[in-house]
Each structure stands twice: as C-alpha cells, then as structure tokens.
Amino acid sequence: MTDNLDFPAIGTRLPGMMDFVSVLARDYRSGDIDSAASLEERVRSFFSPDALAQVESVAPPWRDMASHDGGATLVHVMAVFASLFLCPEFRQASLSRQELMKWIVFFHDIAKTPREGQRDFTHGFRSAAVTARLLPGMGFAVTPEYENHIEDWARLVGTAVTEQPGTLIRIQDNRRLPDIAGGIGRLFGYAAPAALIVRTVLLHMSLDVVEDWPQAAPLTDNEIEKYLDFDLLPLLKIMMLVDNDGYALFDKPVKERYRRETLEVFARIESLLSV
C-alpha cells in the first residue's frame, strides 16, 4: 500500500478522540498511567456526555457500546488504541495502513454486547455489519451495487450464528463465509480500503492466537487459505496483537507472552499462504 490516502483519515472525523488517544499512549509509555484503575479514570474523565455525543454523531452505535458492562468495553477499546499507537508493527507501517488500523480499532467492538460471565463470540460478525453500514457516511467509496445490497448483506452477517456443539453458546457460523466474503466484494471491491476494514473487523475473533483466549469458531486451515490474503494479513495481525495487549497492559510477562504467541501463529499463517 502507498502513503497516498484514498480514504478519509479518522482524525478528520474524530479529532478530539484521536488527540486523547495520543495523550493516553504517551502517558502509558511514560508511566504516568501505571495501572488499570488509572487508565479507567482517564477514559471515564474524557468521555463526558459531550464527548460521547461527538463520537455518536459520527457513529451512532458507539453510545450503546460505551454503555455496556458499566463502560468496560469503552475502556478496553481505548486501551487497544493506546496499544496500537505503541505497537512496533503499527509504527513501522505505511501511513495508509496506519489509518486503516485506526478505523479498524474504532469499529472492532462496536456491536459487542458482553453478558456477565460470558464472552460475546459473535460480535466480530455483528460489528462488521455495523461497520459496512457506517463507512460510506464517513466518506469511504462503495460500488454501484452498494445501495441495493447492503441491507441484505448486513442481515446475512448479523444472522450468521449457530450454536457450539453440545452447548447453548452462540458462535459465528463460518459456513456463511462464502456468501459474506462475496458480498464484501460486491459492496466495496474486495481489496478496497473499506473492504479491508470490514474484513478485519469480521475476522478478528476467528483465529486462535493466545492460549488464554481460545476462540469458539476458529478458522480451519482451509478457511484461512480461502479468506485471508497478504493485503488483509498485516492488518489482522496488528489487530490481534493490540486487542490482546489491551487486556494485559499492566502485566508485562503476560503482555510479552501474548505477543510471542500471536506472532508465532501469524508466522505459521504466512507460511501457509505462501505455499
């Protein structure tokens, strides 16, 4: 990817929030933010009703996400943003890839609805549906077919749910991926910036990368070969690195282990796709 942006930078839509993320990353790196409690305090202090309203004006579902579980998901997303700004793979990436990653982090949990004692194993798919609906309003290009197909596609993705065998746990239904992936191409063009954002959000719960957080419906090797490619892979790797990092910011041994495990998985995937 080149450094010439052909899509909007997130800072043009959310300047206040992105300035806050920069300060958050700086203060975490300097040690001024040195605990989960101090991080949470900073996030809750910034997101006043007015600040939430500003983000909501760009992405209306943000308010619902921010309200779930006492704001825990909002704090996590901000932790992931701070991790993103410090991630070596992000800092070494092209400007265009960095901007894509900021949008991906912004959207990755936007439809997450955690319940007490349960993980939300289907929010990657639901968040992708929300993302695909919102991106045109942000200024992202779509195909001529977008208007006629977005609602059917979003409904397909939102209902691509099944139950984990032997349980009542709802998980994403990867059997629907052929139609979902084909629909992304129809809506945006498969390698377009909007498509890469939607695809990364869609699949960020689809790979087992750390032992502590196994996925309920990980892609098989055959599915990896079908639905991952070298345009998507760097984005998905950064997303999963910083998503896991967001849960371990203040536990250095766990943080380092998560990074090591994730990089080992992606090295294997890169080898698989190179065959």
**70-85, pLDDT tens digit by residue?**
899 999 999 999 999 9
**What pLDDT does 114 receive?**
73
3-class secondary-structure state, position 162: strand
Residue 221 has phi, psi (to 5 degrees) of: -60, -40
Number of separate helices (H) and strands (E) present in the chain: 15, 2
3-class secondary-structure state, position 163: strand
**What pLDDT does 275 receive?**
78
**What pLDDT does 2 receive?**
40
> Which residues of the chain have a pLDDT value below 70?
1-3, 116-117
DSSP 191: T
**What pLDDT does 1 receive?**
40
Q: What angle do CA 64, 124, 66 make, to 5 degrees?
A: 20
pLDDT in tens, 87-140: 999 999 999 999 999 999 999 999 998 776 678 889 999 999 999 999 999 999
